Amino acid sequence: MIVILTGAGVSQESGMAVFRGAGGMWENERIEDVATPDGFARDPKRVLDFYNGLRRRLMSGKSKPNPAHEALARLERESKRPVLVITQNVDDLHERAGTRNLLHMHGELLKARCTACGEAMRWEKDMLLEDCCPECAKKGSLRPDIVWFEEMPLHLEAIEQALAACRVFVSIGTSGNVYPAAGFARHARQSGAHVVELNLEPSLGASVFHEGRYGRAGELVPAWVEEVLSGTSW
């Protein structure tokens, strides 16, 4: 099995901002304010507005899958081995490119979750304080279906099984700041996988990888996929 972990860098060339570094979203917004349960309890409108802005950008015609997303979808279609993409991204660009075997470990921007009845549902428009849950009709109970800091990432059991079973693990466009995702490469390597990093620059955990290639995902990923499919890589 080939397991791919993606982060914000894979969507950067699709017009979605990364989180850290120059121009990153966390330069203008504090994580505590917009990406924690306490921040939401303190000022829900501010949090909804932050994700409304991201959702609008994603829904605007300008954000489209780039060659990195497309290459990963091609890998899933054409590889003889099963391919699993685990993404930390909350956008839907992998799906739009055609990837099917996909786990959104940090939730999805195009979903709302009701804090009263627990249902999650597709949500493409702005989320407002006065919105009612389409399932239970309660007013003011919706939140973005995003995993915030201090909350438990999704699909950890399936991810654990995949990391233990994979032959190749590739980390793409992630800075290695946020656990548990930042620990997946070490885990896969300890289980015997060949581990590769494709990123603009060495990530925090770069020394864990057998191989690192540095540059833009839109160029590195198609080249790597071509090598894997033609049998010239690892």
Q: Which residues are known catalytic residues?
A: 106
Whether 172 contacts 68, CB under 8 Å: yes
> Of 106, 112, 185, 228, which lies in the binding site for ligand OAD, with binding defined by CB under 6 A?
106
Nearer to ligand OAD, 50 or 228 (CB): 50
The residue (of 74 and 106) whose beta carbon lies closer to ligand OAD is 106
Applying CB under 6 A, among 18, 48, 58, 109 the residue interacting with ligand OAD is 18
Considering only the stretches 46-54, 91-99, 123-131, 194-202, report the one whose residues sit in contact with ligand OAD under the rule CB under 6 A: 194-202
Q: Where are the alpha helices (DSSP H) in 35-152?
A: 37-42, 44-59, 67-78, 93-97
Which one of 63, 99, 171, 199 is in contact with ligand OAD (CB under 6 A)? Answer: 199
**Using CB under 6 A, which residues numbered 27 to 46 contact ligand OAD?**
35
If binding is defined by CB under 6 A, does position 88 make contact with ligand OAD? yes
Q: Are 17 and 72 in contact (CB under 8 A)?
A: no
Structure tokens at 95: 């799906």
Under the criterion CB under 6 A, does residue 216 sit at the interface with ligand OAD?
Answer: yes
Does 14 engage in binding with ligand OAD (CB under 6 A)? no
Report the alpha-carbon distance of residue 27 to residue 168 in Å, rounded.
34
| Interacting residues with ligand OAD between 118 and 177 (CB under 6 A) | 147-148, 173-175, 177
Crossing angle, helix 217-230 and helix 67-78, to 10 degrees? Answer: 20
Closest approach, Cβ 92 to ligand OAD, in A, equals 14
- From the CA atom positions of the chain, what is the Rg in Å? 18
Cα separation, 12 vs 182, in Å, equals 19
